[in-house]
Structure 1
């Protein structure tokens, strides 16, 4: 799966997702781009957008964009706190549909 990591996530997280083609927002040259435009750009090249932005689902009309969004919910955005979410993230990605939204972790 082609994944785009938001700026809210550590770029080192990509090393823990070897079964996927992972790029970062900064690597794509999209640093600082607002969420609506960012999702529009991302849907042209990626299957899913991974973020820690818990408000994203309320700010965007995802039905208009053919990209799935996965929100990683953790105590913090530090890699050590995100790594325990990876088994559930992999399960979620396996069943993810375009325009879908999934939350992984948290309550």
Structure 2
């Protein structure tokens, strides 16, 4: 399973997902790409897109994309605030549905 971390997430969070292939938006050369185009690019190479953008599911028609979205909701997007959510993400990764957003919060 391939995971893509949004550019607003510290790349060090990738270490929290052992056994998965994890890339970041900047590593893919997609920094600055708008969400709709980003999801279209991501669905070709990734299974799950992880973001902190709470508005993504309202701004995009997620069912048209063949990628699952996980929205992390923490007090900030700092690594220290996101790391505690990683175990919850790992617990649901096999159950997320492509074309839908799943919220993981504190």
State the shift of 1:94 in Å: 1.9
Which structure 1 residue ranges, 4+ long, deviate > 6 Å from structure 2?
none
Please list, as runs of the form range in 1=range in 2, the aligned pairs for 1:1-107 lying within 5 A after superposition: 1-106=1-106
RMSD: 0.9
Deviations 1:3-29 (A, max 9, x none): 000011111100111121000000000
Structure 2 unpaired stretches of 5+? none
What SS does the aligned partner of 2:70 have?
Answer: strand
TM-score using structure 1 length: 0.95
State the shift of 1:35 in Å: 0.2
Deviations 1:45-79 (A, max 9, x none): 00010000000010000111100000000001111
What SS does the aligned partner of 2:72 have?
Answer: strand
Structure 1 unpaired stretches of 5+? none
